[in-house]
Amino acid sequence: MAPNATVYKAELQISDMDRHYYATHGLTLAQHPSETPERLMARLLAFSLFAGDSLAFGKGLSTDTEPDLWSKAMTGVITQWIELGQPDEARIRKACGRAEQVVVVNYQGRASATWWDRTGGALGRLGNVSVVDLPTDQVEATTALLERTMRLNCLIQDHHLQLMNAGHSVTIEPRWRLDARA
């Protein structure tokens, strides 16, 4: 955990109708001092989209050797490596060599489009990379759900994600630029 990090606790109940995954996760999210609320919620949304029994938060901003989220098999093999934002191509190539599947989750609108224009062609040739965009305005809307202790429900159906608590609900419509999951 980063020094002077703000710690958030979340009970996240996921009902993923698309993948038939249903579970409740007790999560601790450490917000790095330089991390925005939007990025913190983008991490939570990425967790929701790719949730599984072995998915965990990495050290993220505080280290270059770990992704924002990852899954490891019991053998230590990295099965999924998830980056947020616009990582450089060299970092993604290195991740492809270390993990079975690499996912880049963008949430920054125009900057994401510029990044894709610059790196999309090269990423498509890697074979095990997926890229998904989360609309900026929808990610910003999720910050209304942000509390130090949260109880959230996440419903994923027909490739849409709905994140809600007792008082608010936000619908996220992910856009897949590249999908190597199949």
| pLDDT in the model for residue 87 | 93
**What domains appear along the chain, each with residue ranges and CATH number?**
6-178 (3.10.640.10)
Joined together, the tokens standing for residue 100 give 């079975």
Q: Using N-to-C axis directions, what is the helix angle for 110-124 and 89-98, rounded to 10°?
A: 50
Q: Tens digits of per-residue pLDDT, 60-104?
A: 666 777 899 999 999 999 999 999 999 999 999 999 999 999 999
More confident residue, 135 or 4: 135
Averaged pLDDT of the chain:
93
The mean pLDDT of 155-166, rounded to a whole number, is: 96
pLDDT in tens, 99-115: 999 999 999 989 999 99
Element (DSSP H or E) covering residue 98: helix 89-98
pLDDT band for position 166 (cuts 50, 70, 90): very high
Q: How far apart, in whole angstroms, are the C-alpha atoms of residue 85 and residue 19?
A: 24
Provide the pLDDT for residue 61.
Answer: 64
pLDDT at 2: 47
Residues 156 and 134: beta-carbon distance below 8 Å: no
Q: For residue 65, what pLDDT is reported?
A: 79
Half-sphere exposure of 83 (CA within 13 A, CB side): 25
Element of type H or E holding 96: helix 89-98
Residue 15: exposed, middle, or buried by beta-carbon count in 10 A (0-12, 13-18, 19+)?
middle
